[in-house]
Chains A and B, each alone.
Chain A
Amino acid sequence: MSTASALEGLYPFLHGRPKDALLEHTALLESVRRKSADSLAAKERFYREHAEDVVACAHTLAAVYAAGGRLFAMGNGGSSCDASHFCVEFQHPVTAGRPALPAMNLSMDMAMFSAVCNDVGVRHVFARQLKAHARKGDGLVGFSTSGNSENLMQAFAIARDLGLRTIGFAGGDGGAMLRSGLLEHCLVVDTDSIHRVQEVHVSLYHILWDLTHTLLADQRGATKGTDHAVR
């Protein structure tokens, strides 16, 4: 075998040779099997260890709404999408008989977002909006796969000063969200895989939304007369 053909065997793409489709397909199938198993295992582990904490968070959210408060949610990147999704669940309930509840994703105002980023820095984007909108007794939920997002931590510090009820969805070792002591609840998905963390977060906020409405159903009479629809 010549050196040239040996190198072509080692680096086929340098010589324009296509991939082996069968080889790739087999490897992809195995990858699907392993990833889905990982995803299921992460969920099972989390709920086995944190079911009580999830119920406690639901009580906190129910208390916010029962008292006429509003919910704010925040996150960066994919976690921002989760914050948005969480808010949609409350504003646009898909189950009959459940009221729409006020929830605001703090990433949605691009003008405000870019202004703060440009003028003072991304660390302040959520904190400044909270100062403008939040009132004592409102709720704040933050999503961070590392638990270390500085802009979330700034907002949680402001939330403490304003008297907000706070919940964090984190991953890894919980990061600053867990260590800081600023949060009322911090639910940590114990894996370093961003995807696995976010997959658990999605199921978690769906469950949390459901539990919150279940708790509110028993309190409808007590919340009559508030300016949003827990009735």
Chain B
Amino acid sequence: MQYVDEFRDPQKARALVHQIDALLERIPTARNRPLQIMEFCGGHTHTIFRYGLEQMLPKRIEMVHGPGCPVCVLPMGRVDDCIAIAQRPEVIFTTFGDAMRVPGSQKSLLQAKADGADVRMVYSPLDALDLARRNPDREVVFFALGFETTMPATALTVQQAEREGIRNFSLFCNHITTIPTIKAILDSPDMQIDGFLAPGHVCMVVGEAPFGFVARDYHRPIVITGFEPLDILQSLWMVIRQMAEGRCAVENQYARVVPAAGNPPGLKAINDVFELRAFFEWRGLGSIDHSGVRMRSKYAAFDAEHKFAVPNLRIADPKSCQCGEVLKGNIRPWECKVYGAPCSPETPLGALMVSSEGACAAYYNYGQQPRRMQTDARMAAHLETTR
């Protein structure tokens, strides 16, 4: 296939769904309950909703939408720290656009900008470095955010800044890693996930090997997956095929992009610049061991946490949202007790409602009835009958 349209061919999609349905006949579990397959990545979630894939799939497959949106899972405390840095008069605070509206406890970066903070959107950490070159009298801080996918670009930018001796540039590092979170989900005692679609862009950096434990230790099939509709359907077919054949392995559907060994120069840069934190707080999921990185001390001059003495990590507080139960497949987004109200894309409480790639936001935005409306309707009906 050469062109993107070919990855969206309805006929091929229908053929794949037909083959998935045929494979399901060979899986005894699928006769008793729907198989739960988790797509970890928010990009996959977005594709599933945008192209209506969930409606195409046999009823015996239930998609569980994972926490794979780094914007979604950023905790309020870290956004508060961003704003504290951005409000310093000497700072130009730079960020990717999708982080602008993530709510902190008081306001978002967008609101801080409206209040006078110098917050600017950039498309790459190199854009931020360029701003630092052009504004030597200001401190330029880049809001480093994302999974393993974006770490190499950030690390290489820091290395570049050091080589050029640019001292008015720093990172506020909020990079997080996917593997510990998949393990945390697998370790949940009431975990019901039968198989996984692994995040293709992360694998482009780390390769296939880190996902081996999912098949080896937890006996779940996992397929590295691309982001077009046919990528997702083919990966589902590969997961179901493994189950039908009674085996568990890491398979790579996204081989056109993901080399088995990942990106060795990228990994080298990551290890040079970053080291693991003891734990990192995920919005809606809580603290997960070794799931975040910070800058190594040799790059302290480029570390905004060091330069500006921002508050350190904090363990998550559980919110009234039920993101954890949604992520484990125990409840569907609309069954969360705060779905729709007070948790909505405009005022998100939970990780999964924050950006358009979050599962709850996707359900909300693609026309699902908010729970509050359902609850209020039930309550209204009840009050009517008891008056």
A binds B: yes
**Contacts A20-B278, A31-B314, A172-B338 known; A10 to B271 CB distance under 8 Å?**
yes
- Contact in complex: B386, A157 (CB < 8 Å): yes
B211 to chain A, nearest CB (A): 10
Confirm or deny: B379 has a beta carbon within 8 angstroms of a beta carbon on chain A.
yes
- Contact in complex: A176, B342 (CB < 8 Å): no
Confirm or deny: A194 has a beta carbon within 8 angstroms of a beta carbon on chain B.
yes
Contacts of A9 in B (CB 8 A): 271, 275-276
Provide the A24-35 mask, 1 if CB < 8 A to any CB of B, else 0: 101110110011
A1-B272, A10-B179, A157-B382 known, 16 other contacts, Cβ within 8 Å: A7-B207, A10-B210, A10-B267, A13-B290, A19-B289, A23-B277, A27-B277, A27-B313, A28-B315, A148-B338, A148-B375, A150-B375, A172-B338, A192-B342, A193-B318, A196-B317
Main secondary structure of the interface of B (DSSP, over half): mixed
- Contact in complex: A6, B179 (CB < 8 Å): no
**A154→B381 CA distance, assembly (Å):** 12
- Contact in complex: B337, A148 (CB < 8 Å): yes
Confirm or deny: A14 has a beta carbon within 8 angstroms of a beta carbon on chain B.
yes
Residue from B270, B278, B318 in contact with A19 in the complex, judged by beta carbons closer than 8 Å: B278
Which A-chain residue is minimally distant from B76 (CB atoms)? A192
Residue from A7, A27, A145 in contact with B210 in the complex, judged by beta carbons closer than 8 Å: A7
Which positions in A face B, CB cutoff 8 Å? Answer: 1, 3, 5-7, 9-14, 19-20, 23-24, 26-28, 30-31, 34-35, 38, 145-146, 148-150, 153-154, 157-158, 161, 171-173, 175-176, 179-180, 192-197
**A23→B275 CA distance, assembly (Å):** 11
**Contacts A3-B264, A19-B289, A172-B338 known; A195 to B318 CB distance under 8 Å?**
yes
Provide the B105-145 mask, 1 if CB < 8 A to any CB of A, else 0: 00000000000000000000000000000000000000000
Main secondary structure of the interface of A (DSSP, over half): helix
- Contact in complex: B313, A30 (CB < 8 Å): yes
Taking CB atoms and an 8 Å cut-off, the chain B residues in 291-348 that contact chain A are 293, 311-315, 317-321, 337-338, 341-342
Residue from B264, B315, B379 in contact with A176 in the complex, judged by beta carbons closer than 8 Å: B379
Contacts of B261 in A (CB 8 A): 3
**A105→B112 CA distance, assembly (Å):** 46
**Contacts A7-B210, A11-B290, A148-B375 known; A195 to B278 CB distance under 8 Å?**
no
**A148→B379 CA distance, assembly (Å):** 11
- Contact in complex: A146, B311 (CB < 8 Å): no
- Contact in complex: A193, B319 (CB < 8 Å): yes
Provide the B204-219 mask, 1 if CB < 8 A to any CB of A, else 0: 0011011001000000
B154 to chain A, nearest CB (A): 14
Confirm or deny: B197 has a beta carbon within 8 angstroms of a beta carbon on chain A.
no
**Contacts A12-B290, A158-B386 known; A3 to B262 CB distance under 8 Å?**
yes
Using a Cβ cutoff of 8 Å, how many contacts connect chains A and B?
Answer: 127
Residue from B317, B337, B341, B382 in contact with A154 in the complex, judged by beta carbons closer than 8 Å: B382
Confirm or deny: B268 has a beta carbon within 8 angstroms of a beta carbon on chain A.
yes
- Contact in complex: B379, A172 (CB < 8 Å): no
Confirm or deny: B180 has a beta carbon within 8 angstroms of a beta carbon on chain A.
yes
Confirm or deny: B49 has a beta carbon within 8 angstroms of a beta carbon on chain A.
no
Residue from B275, B320, B341 in contact with A192 in the complex, judged by beta carbons closer than 8 Å: B320
- Contact in complex: B290, A19 (CB < 8 Å): yes
Q: Which 6 A-B pairs have the closest CB atoms?
A: A24-B278, A6-B267, A193-B317, A30-B312, A146-B320, A31-B315
**A187→B222 CA distance, assembly (Å):** 48
- Contact in complex: B183, A192 (CB < 8 Å): no
**A157→B385 CA distance, assembly (Å):** 11
Ordered by A's residue number, 30 sampled pairs between the chains whose C-beta atoms are within 8 Å are A3-B262, A6-B271, A9-B275, A9-B276, A11-B290, A12-B290, A13-B180, A13-B290, A14-B213, A20-B276, A20-B278, A23-B278, A24-B278, A26-B278, A27-B277, A27-B313, A28-B278, A30-B311, A31-B314, A31-B315, A35-B317, A145-B320, A150-B375, A171-B320, A173-B341, A176-B375, A192-B320, A193-B317, A194-B319, A195-B317
A198 to chain B, nearest CB (A): 11
Contacts of A154 in B (CB 8 A): 382
Which A-chain residue is minimally distant from B209 (CB atoms)? A7
Contacts of A150 in B (CB 8 A): 375, 378
Confirm or deny: B376 has a beta carbon within 8 angstroms of a beta carbon on chain A.
yes
**A192→B103 CA distance, assembly (Å):** 13
Residue from B183, B270, B386 in contact with A13 in the complex, judged by beta carbons closer than 8 Å: B183
